[in-house]
Structure 1
């Protein structure tokens, strides 16, 4: 499932303009990372639903600037900053709030309010997870579910496809039954092999109330996204039912086993490309997909398919591949459900900044396209969640694309928008500990995004 307490249900967007990539620079209190977002060509908000293109004409690795001073800001940016300074003090947001806004042309941080402070980011962790997954595995990667036969047993082998459906298992059963009947067999035992993922199945910092509904114990086999304690045995039982429906008798109960190298392959199913899976994961904030991607990213990088292996690879990808600062960065899972996770808003903004660099468009484009759009049904910023629907923020419908994050005691919103001045901006806002109603906190945070857009002037 998805973000706790409020985000459970499930347009390409490429800001146009000049881009360059900047060198990494330590972030700390009073020292702001200058983030290069040189998107010089204005694009209307219709870009949220239609493609445009980057034109890279700035040098890679150019020296970045510090936070822009007030005298460097134009009238629109100065008004935005003035408004943010006031609106970030909204009582609904509480007193533990951080935020960063990065400019598209000045190569500077326009606004920073405790941006280096590490807070619980909730589902904004998925931005880090998806960045690492797409980088290590590639956007065209597919997950394969297999069926093999040996010693009178059909074994369903999990390949970490969190999008596997009953219809997919029916196709696997059909192929398997054809092979059985060709061999003159009318009965078979069924086993499941989910050995791809070792234990533990639960992450540090997950509350017991989170599973199996909001996130299932992480295993390599699941069908229809079922929220159950043992998704592997559950999938095996569904597979056995499909075999029975196809005319083969299943002997005994479904058991867990490890397939033998001598077993004969009889059927296989491949998932949609990783890019499509990431798109779905971000739109609906699917925790289970995120945790599966974390494990597979670890394997893809030659590390153990554990929470520790996955988070290690995420850190390495962000810091060594992309130069993202990991100061005060601490994660224990891939979904952001862990209440031990901590990420500064400045770091989340850096991750999002990568989406505006054309050299990473092929690899990371699915993240940009998967970010929920304000007011768009089917995503976590849709009207079904009451987002961007009050007097202050509804002006930003269709103009903001951002990742949501919701846990008890933590709400975040990080994304992209085109400002009133026509410049693209990256923003990240996180609050921890507000005692206000979560819906009211989100209204206040949506208002901050609308302020960055400039429609709430």
Structure 2
């Protein structure tokens, strides 16, 4: 499953060595190079969307050595491509594996191995979700949780803040209690309003067993990220308890109702900026934050707060705003838990390449900052997860930033690294169906990333 543990924030920023050379001006942005990627990769939409094994059955298993030998590619990159040609055939990765390596500074595709194959990307979907959320809502956007009063009831109104804490609720309760006492009220009913989102459902491709451990039913109100079936009532009960501790009698059980238009605003809490929430989500691959962001992004674009509405907006942002290819691209959720999600490695690399372009630094910078760093404790690439601790990949500790993805039958690693000359290398590796142990697959993936970095030469 995708890791959904709460993050311990890290203060050490990713600062690889080497200089950053001046990047050339591009016409049409990254779409120029993207055309090259897709020309090298071999498209096969019907087979790819049918499933990873269908594409493999076509017999297209050739590596992209021609890209590595392209005119103008230096000896180090040619050696890297040759090494990848060999290492991608590692038995631990199985037969359904794809990968792409881009030189973001020169717009060259340095290596391609079935890069257009649409495989199950697991939590690499969060890269697409983050891109859309930051673009539609903006990195400074904050989510608001409110308390309103009407007809003897305090209603806690959810605003899609998946990072709301008990301490935040305590502040709301204190403000509400002060207002009640000033009005001479000593008792109140408590309700919750989570009508911002449609009724929670399972996404296409989710296993029923995912609820509530890997992902909770997606509601607009939750406290402390608790994985329970009804996060809204749970938050309301916590709020009611805090009111009682402050001397207000709560009458009856917490109920669910929509706040009235005439209800009086009592208190509000604003979340941290979206940029910080995206960082938190990526560092620990938090499924619940991802699904909430998908809905808030849909609302921000004027679409219904549903899986379908969010997926539609993600597609529009990637294609129309950034020119990312959506060939063989199919998502049904925001977290990547869906087993019917399909994204080619070429597309994941295109999304990541945006992070190297100065014109997108303000909007998308939180994604670059939030990507786990190889060996970073508290992230999904930390030593507690056994990442980059293999003799072949240890050299890349601190030198690679990447988004992990892990489901039964699918492992992905997509990210960025710098060469000794400070040039960006963008990579994406996805495998489906390997029979090897998950930790062995991850070791092989980490080795591919170390190969791109050049430290495993």
TM-score of the pair, normalised by structure 2 = 0.89
Q: Once the 2 structures are TM-superposed, how far is the Cα of residue 16 of structure 1 from its aligned partner? A: 2.9
- 1:31 aligned to 2:31? no
Q: Shift of the alpha carbon at 1:27? A: 7.6
CA distance in 2 between counterparts of 1:147 and 1:91 reads: 57
User: Contact 2:134 / 2:364 at 8 angstroms: preserved in 1?
Assistant: yes
After TM superposition, the structure 1 = structure 2 runs for residues 395-414 of structure 1, keeping only pairs within 5 Å, are 395-414=395-414
- For structure 1, the residue ranges without an aligned partner over 5 or more in a row are 34-65
Distance 1:76 1:420, change over 3 A: farther
Residues 13-22 or 232-241, more deviating: 13-22
Partner of 2:30: 22
Q: Hey, which bits of structure 1, 4+ residues long, moved more than 4 A?
A: 12-15, 24-30
| CA deviation map 1:269-326 (0-9, x unaligned) | 0000000000100001000000010000001011111111111000000000000000
The 1-side partners of 2:30 and 2:70 are apart by 23
Asked if the contact 2:375/2:388 (under 8 Å) is kept, the reply is yes
Secondary structure of 1:316 counterpart: helix
Which residue does 2:138 correspond to in 1? 138
Matched residue SS, 1:417: strand
Q: 1:393 to 1:28 in 2, by over 3 A?
A: closer
Matched, 1:392 2:389: no
Structure 1 CA distance for aligned equivalents of residues 82 and 37 of structure 2: 23
Aligned 8 A contact 1:218 1:288 in 2: yes
Moved more, 325-334 or 418-427: 418-427
The equivalent of 1:41 in structure 2 is none
2:312 and 2:266 mapped to 1: Cα distance? 36
* Equivalent residue number for residue 368 of structure 1: 368
d(CA) in 2 for partners of 1:335, 1:381: 18
1:418-433 mapped onto 2 (5 Å cutoff): 418-420=418-420, 422-433=422-433
Q: How does 1:109-124 map to 2 (within 5 A)?
A: 109-124=109-124
What's the secondary structure of 2:31's corresponding residue?
coil
When normalised by structure 1's length, the TM-score is 0.89
How far 1:68 sits from its partner (Å)?
A: 5.5
Alignment-derived partner of residue 176 in structure 1: 176
Number of corresponding residues: 422
How far off is 1:419 after superposition? 2.6
Q: How far, CA to CA, are the matches of 2:374 and 2:68 in structure 1?
A: 28
Quick check: 1:413–1:430 contact (8 Å CA) kept in 2?
A: yes
Q: Aligned equivalents of 1:92 and 1:9: distance in 2?
A: 30
Q: In the alignment, is the contact (CA less than 8 A) between 2:153 and 2:189 conserved in 1?
A: yes
2:205 corresponds to: 205
CA distance in 2, matches of 1:374, 1:68: 25
Residue 12 of structure 1: how far off its partner (Å):
4.9
Change in 2 beyond 3 A, CA 1:349/1:277: same
Q: What does residue range 161-172 of structure 1 map to in structure 2 within 5 Å?
A: 161-172=161-172
User: How big is the alpha-carbon RMSD for the aligned residues of Structure 1 and Structure 2?
Assistant: 1.8
Q: Which residue of 2 aligns with 1:52?
A: none
1:78 match: secondary structure: helix
